């Protein structure tokens, strides 16, 4: 089943070319209740505006799980090691949905990058459990594009911690919908591709993950999960910042990003300027 949030915040399931509205006020509420009944209202999918499918209580941002990403960083002598078992909390106010614009904050960064990720939707609350129980907590999967300001990231990583570079407004595209776990029996068997203006930039496979999703979920279980939480699983190789010609690949206004994961779909987002996004010139340049 594909679950969506649409129009003014309605929650629904996709049935062919239509959305069937569900009797629940929010997607988080859907998972907190353990489901919802149909409300009887139907909307043509083509007539609906899809929103970010969920705004979680907690967004567990994990990284370093695809060691191919660490290996490619060595090609350009990246400033810091991409250690395994990185975790921090994402700014949920930065979440945007399909076709919503990523606003380029040119006063903050000159190195705007993309990172294709598979994200897990947690279906029930819990903590202190092992990998053998972890998949019982998985309710579904969604595509996450981890937009990153690389120049800010390099400076943040001097302290060993980074999050501002990934948490700026609109830097968290999520969507286009949640695919429930029963539709994806093996999340380690999914092709992953990211394109910019139709050109493939990242291509990999969830089977290349250097750890497993049950291990990742259980590793962070001591922090406690709530129904509807989101947990990302890290990006694959092919980011702009680790390319020998990074300057030519960084995102810029006018670009269109398409993040695709097999069995889930395509998350599409344009990049626009600060002027176009806010109707005013960008603030004075800030040096981090």
Residue 287 within any structural domain of the chain:
no
95 and 17 belong to one structural domain:
no
172 and 270 belong to one structural domain:
yes
Q: What is the pLDDT of residue 261?
A: 98
80 and 33 belong to one structural domain:
no
Q: What is the pLDDT of residue 216?
A: 95
**Beta 102-104 vs 2-6: how paired, if at all?**
unpaired
Report the half-sphere exposure of 48 (CA within 13 A, side-chain side): 28
Q: Is the link from the previous residue into 206 a cis peptide, with omega within 30 of 0?
A: no
C-alpha to C-alpha distances, 68 to 3, 22, 65, 82, 227, nearest whole angstrom: 31, 41, 9, 10, 31
Residue 285 within any structural domain of the chain:
no
197 and 116 belong to one structural domain:
yes
Residue 125 within any structural domain of the chain:
yes
From 240, 89, 84, 83, select the one nearest 163 (Cα to Cα).
Answer: 89
58 and 172 belong to one structural domain:
yes
What is the domain range of residue 11? Answer: 1-51
The secondary structure element, H or E, covering residue 27 is helix 27-33
Q: How many domains does the chain have?
A: 2
Of 36, 51, 66, the position where a domain reaches its end is: 51
In this prediction the pTM is: 0.95
From 177, 182, 207, 178, select the one nearest 192 (Cα to Cα).
Answer: 207
* CATH code where residue 67 lies: 3.90.850.10
Q: What is the pLDDT of residue 286?
A: 83
Residue 172 within any structural domain of the chain:
yes
Of 13, 28, 51, the position where a domain reaches its end is: 51
Q: What is the pLDDT of residue 244?
A: 84
107 and 221 belong to one structural domain:
yes
26 and 58 belong to one structural domain:
no
Rounded to 5, what percent of the chain is helix, strand, coil? 25, 35, 40
Residue 102 within any structural domain of the chain:
yes
pLDDT tens string for the chain (288 positions)?
Answer: 999 999 999 999 999 999 999 999 999 999 999 999 999 899 999 999 999 999 999 999 988 777 655 566 666 655 566 667 788 899 999 999 999 999 999 999 999 999 999 999 999 999 999 999 999 999 999 999 999 999 998 888 777 777 899 999 999 999 999 999 999 999 999 999 999 999 999 999 999 988 999 999 999 999 999 999 999 999 888 899 888 888 999 999 999 999 999 999 999 999 999 999 999 999 999 876
180 and 115 belong to one structural domain:
yes
- Cα(155)–Cα(285) distance, rounded to whole angstroms? 16
Q: What is the pLDDT of residue 67?
A: 61
- Cα(239)–Cα(288) distance, rounded to whole angstroms? 22
- What's the chain's Rg over C-alpha atoms? 18
* CATH code where residue 43 lies: 2.30.30.370
Residue with token string 């990302």: 232
125 and 161 belong to one structural domain:
yes
Q: What is the pLDDT of residue 287?
A: 76
- Cα(106)–Cα(285) distance, rounded to whole angstroms? 8
Residue 170 within any structural domain of the chain:
yes
33 in helix, strand or coil? helix
Distance from the first to the final alpha carbon of the chain: 44
Residue 288 within any structural domain of the chain:
no
Residue 78 within any structural domain of the chain:
yes
The secondary structure element, H or E, covering residue 69 is helix 67-73
110 and 1 belong to one structural domain:
no
């Amino acid at each position: 089943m594909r679950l969506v949030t649409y129009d003014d915040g309605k929650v629904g399931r996709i049935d062919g070319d239509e959305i069937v509205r569900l009797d629940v006020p929010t997607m988080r509420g859907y998972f907190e209740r353990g489901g919802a009944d149909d409300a009887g209202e139907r909307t043509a999918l083509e007539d609906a505006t899809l929103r970010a499918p969920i705004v979680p209580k907690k967004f567990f941002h994990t990284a370093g799980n695809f060691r191919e990403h660490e290996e490619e960083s060595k090609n350009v002598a990246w400033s810091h090691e991409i250690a395994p078992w990185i975790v921090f909390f994402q700014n949920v106010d930065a979440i945007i949905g399909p076709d919503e614009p990523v606003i380029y904050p040119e006063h903050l960064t000159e190195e705007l990058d993309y990172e294709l990720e598979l994200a897990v939707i947690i279906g029930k609350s819990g903590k202190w459990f092992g990998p053998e129980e972890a998949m019982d907590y998985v309710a579904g999967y969604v595509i996450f594009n981890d937009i990153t300001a690389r120049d800010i990231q390099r400076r943040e990583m001097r302290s060993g911690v980074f999050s501002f570079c990934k948490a700026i407004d609109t830097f968290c595209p999520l969507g286009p919908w949640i695919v429930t776990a029963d539709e994806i029996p093996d999340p380690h068997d999914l092709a992953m591709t990211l394109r910019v203006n139709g050109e493939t930039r990242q291509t990999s496979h969830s089977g290349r993950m250097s750890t497993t999703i049950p291990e990742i979920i259980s590793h962070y279980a001591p922090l406690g999960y709530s129904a509807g939480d989101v947990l990302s699983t890290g990006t694959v190789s092919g980011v702009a910042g680790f390319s020998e010609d990074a300057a030519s690949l960084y995102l810029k206004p006018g670009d269109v990003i398409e993040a695709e994961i097999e069995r889930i779909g395509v998350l599409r987002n344009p990049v626009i300027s600060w002027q176009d996004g806010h109707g005013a010139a960008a603030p004075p340049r800030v040096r981090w």
